[in-house]
Structure 1
């Protein structure tokens, strides 16, 4: 009975999809739905996105070692203790060292780690909060630049091995954890922003898996100098060539070039066939399939090993997620009278709400709004976490819309904007869309709008896709040196439209923890705003957090202006102006 029902339901799914195909002029829409279903099923099986990070701490830092002596030597004065190295600890009370005190694996929830990450949100005066955010650890290979040989190669006879105390754990791929932070600002509703919060990280993981992305820091299968191996020893020249290639950006990692080309061409064909308009001549800058086509026309030989960059993975994941969301909304027919009279649980198997026959994105009714998106991913080349003062790391920014990301420089304390607003007033965006969107208008507030939209790039907004409102991300990579930056701030336009970049950074400087900094930024923006928009702020601690007040004049540069704004906002005569 169960098998018959499942078979009948499957037939109904493709029949509904084919009806949708006829209405859009697509013959094989079932093939277009397969990547989405595969991605979701893979994401469900993988389940490797966690909202906590894993670290190694010495067992003595959590509890006394049960294998140690009875005397409480761990409570001796600091002058009489020996620092723990993570491998062998010596007791001042004994002449013989303890044998192999192991480190303890600790899971720390990222949302509760107030000293590492903080988030705060406010609805403002809007009827609902359409902002969303996400933070966790991705299970993808590392994309960081390879560390110098002095850090990665342990020569034979090394007497001082590096300490293992408070080091991050490796993921299932064998690389250090890749941290993921995202902020999404919905408009017209929260369906699209919630979809990105729940699924965008899965699209990134699935894209990396389908591309067969390989680690950027893992050594090849050959022994290092001073080590014996089956494949022989790598020479000094080979090591220098490898390190010199790591200095170039973007970093090309190994992947399945043939599979990548097929997926990218299929995605472009889907955009051209389903949406058309702007996407008929759409050229993603990071897609390697286009460069391969250009090389083939010039009689170049494709060696099948071109590699892949993390920028290409992110661009594919963004466009794939946007296409699936728009396709799901186009498949809904909320204006059909017959469909409106159907029971709410008609799409459920045996009227069971836990087993749906089709994948719903954004609710039962067609959602015509959209969402902006800013994602920050941090990868480290060494086991030390990115917030360690001596650890270098690579920061990758993928941005769509008018959400904003800032860095605080440890040297001078200045705010460094990493994103630009995708508005019609931007010359780059205006030139990109002028041939398709001839109706650029200026509203009563003096802001340019295109077809009623303030953002020229966004997820969703299905009615504006043909004129070029796409989710093509603006990608930027920053190589962060040890303690070069103090913290990272992600915010929605409810904050960036009210406060200046330096004001936001200075508010976080005065906070004791990133969590307090996020709450202070949202509180101040909500207090002085005149629009009352949704406000969300994420603060991520970096290596220079403890030195955040040393650069320049600290937080005193905007303290006087912020105090004046607060007094002006609380002035009872303000409403009369």
Structure 2
């Protein structure tokens, strides 16, 4: 799941949307006509850490680039999702076209798909063409099974006469890109993309706003979708974990064509949120090597008061490893307008200390 976030300052003349331009920096202009480049690779701009855990190979990958999108498409997307008629001309053509794309790819059972996504997904998101949707929809229908009753979802307006339809919005663009990359992956191994977490941290006491829901068969959204189309094929394994068709923890993924007709889909769940001024401190993306150990609130609290995003990401990974994390793990921290301005108590501090002591005690017992 990829969340498209739009940030708007309190002054309309300074409106900023996180948008597109194929580089590892954001480009803009000073009032005097000079050029500004903000490098995404700087640990003070985006903080990233990852670990392969106890595995002999790395399956987690990530990417961040700036893309270049049609400002009109972005304007329509913001208006559709939030009722705000953003004016691209207020920031100039160069900045208005730029969108920051951040992806985190957790490959289970191999790294081939997650590596491919790191290299290719952002390019597909940028280059999709609405004229290809009818052919893509025909391919989706050929899969059969679950997709016999699939009406196109976010792509529905462009299935017939796409040239006469309006421009793509961000939800449709993401959906088309996900289906197209799934087409390209028919010969590759499984990639789980259904349980990466994307979390917003508020400056109001560090409250967390999850931007994703894990795509497990027993999750509310997935249970409704699958029962409506397929009935129930949910099986609980010997460890008490729910598995779709008795095999898959995730019911949305890129790759693994053999399960597609049984309801597993590459269709992304797309959510947007308008970020007003300094209301939000930072965005955290984590793979399930972290989320399987830490709660959402613990994750965002660990990043509090860090001097920079890189240090914040390292604190999250380090604590998860203290508690026994052994899976591949990746953390990306993106500062927002409210960075360093969180007010209120750290609500999970005592819980984290208790969990740390429990982990230390368990390790001592194991060594005795």
Report what 2:191 is aligned to: 370
- Correspondent of 1:50 among 20, 23, 48: 23
Question: CA offset at residue 108 of structure 1?
Answer: 4.1
What's the TM-score once normalised by structure 2's chain length?
Answer: 0.83
Question: CA offset at residue 307 of structure 1?
Answer: 4.0
2:60 aligned with 1:131, yes or no?
Answer: yes
Report what 1:516 is aligned to: 311
- Correspondent of 1:455 among 238, 245, 250: 250
Question: CA offset at residue 507 of structure 1?
Answer: 0.7
Distance (Å, rounded) in 2 between the aligned partners of 1:149 and 1:185:
34
- Correspondent of 1:287 among 145, 155, 166: 155
Q: What per-residue deviation string (whole Å, max 9, x for no partner) do you get for residues 396-455 of structure 1? A: xxxxx0100000112332011111011011233223324547532111221110131100
2:182 aligned with 1:322, yes or no?
Answer: yes
Distance (Å, rounded) in 2 between the aligned partners of 1:106 and 1:508:
28
What secondary structure is seen at the aligned counterpart in 2 of 1:446? coil
What secondary structure is seen at the aligned counterpart in 2 of 1:547? coil
Q: Retained in 2: the 8 A contact 1:437–1:467?
A: no
Question: CA offset at residue 56 of structure 1?
Answer: 4.0
Report what 2:9 is aligned to: none
- Correspondent of 2:197 among 392, 395, 404: 404
Report what 1:201 is aligned to: 122
Q: What per-residue deviation string (whole Å, max 9, x for no partner) do you get for residues 466-511 of structure 1? A: 2121111101111111112110011101111110111111111131
Report what 2:8 is aligned to: none
Equivalenced residues, count: 338
Provide closer, same or farther for how the CA distance between residues 152 and 175 of structure 1 changes in structure 2, counting only shifts above 3 A. Answer: closer
Q: Retained in 2: the 8 A contact 1:492–1:535?
A: yes
Provide closer, same or farther for how the CA distance between residues 405 and 149 of structure 1 changes in structure 2, counting only shifts above 3 A. Answer: closer
Distance (Å, rounded) in 2 between the aligned partners of 1:125 and 1:138:
35
Q: What per-residue deviation string (whole Å, max 9, x for no partner) do you get for residues 82-122 of structure 1? A: xxxx43xxxxxxxxxxxxxx52x2444312x2222100001
Provide closer, same or farther for how the CA distance between residues 170 and 110 of structure 1 changes in structure 2, counting only shifts above 3 A. Answer: farther
Q: Retained in 1: the 8 A contact 2:137–2:152?
A: no
Report what 1:535 is aligned to: 329
Provide closer, same or farther for how the CA distance between residues 291 and 54 of structure 1 changes in structure 2, counting only shifts above 3 A. Answer: closer
Question: CA offset at residue 276 of structure 1?
Answer: 2.1
Q: Retained in 1: the 8 A contact 2:67–2:126?
A: yes
- Correspondent of 1:264 among 124, 127, 133: 133
2:206 aligned with 1:276, yes or no?
Answer: no
Distance (Å, rounded) in 2 between the aligned partners of 1:152 and 1:306:
20
Distance (Å, rounded) in 1 between the aligned partners of 2:250 and 2:355:
28
Provide closer, same or farther for how the CA distance between residues 191 and 437 of structure 1 changes in structure 2, counting only shifts above 3 A. Answer: farther
Which is worse superposed, 434-443 or 404-413?
A: 434-443
What secondary structure is seen at the aligned counterpart in 2 of 1:124? coil
Distance (Å, rounded) in 1 between the aligned partners of 2:116 and 2:297:
32
Q: Which has the higher strand share?
A: 2
What's the TM-score once normalised by structure 1's chain length?
Answer: 0.54
What secondary structure is seen at the aligned counterpart in 2 of 1:54? strand
Question: CA offset at residue 562 of structure 1?
Answer: 1.1
What secondary structure is seen at the aligned counterpart in 1 of 2:355? helix
Q: Which has the higher contact order (CA 8 A, sep 6+)?
A: 2
Question: CA offset at residue 132 of structure 1?
Answer: 0.7
2:291 aligned with 1:431, yes or no?
Answer: no
Report what 1:378 is aligned to: none
Question: CA offset at residue 532 of structure 1?
Answer: 1.1
Question: CA offset at residue 464 of structure 1?
Answer: 1.0
Provide closer, same or farther for how the CA distance between residues 176 and 264 of structure 1 changes in structure 2, counting only shifts above 3 A. Answer: closer
Report what 1:65 is aligned to: none
Provide closer, same or farther for how the CA distance between residues 573 and 408 of structure 1 changes in structure 2, counting only shifts above 3 A. Answer: same
2:364 aligned with 1:568, yes or no?
Answer: no
Question: CA offset at residue 573 of structure 1?
Answer: 3.3
What secondary structure is seen at the aligned counterpart in 1 of 2:164? coil
Question: CA offset at residue 283 of structure 1?
Answer: 2.3
Report what 1:33 is aligned to: none
Q: Retained in 2: the 8 A contact 1:264–1:289?
A: no
Q: Retained in 2: the 8 A contact 1:368–1:463?
A: no
Gaps of 5+ in 2: 1-20
Q: Retained in 1: the 8 A contact 2:66–2:98?
A: yes
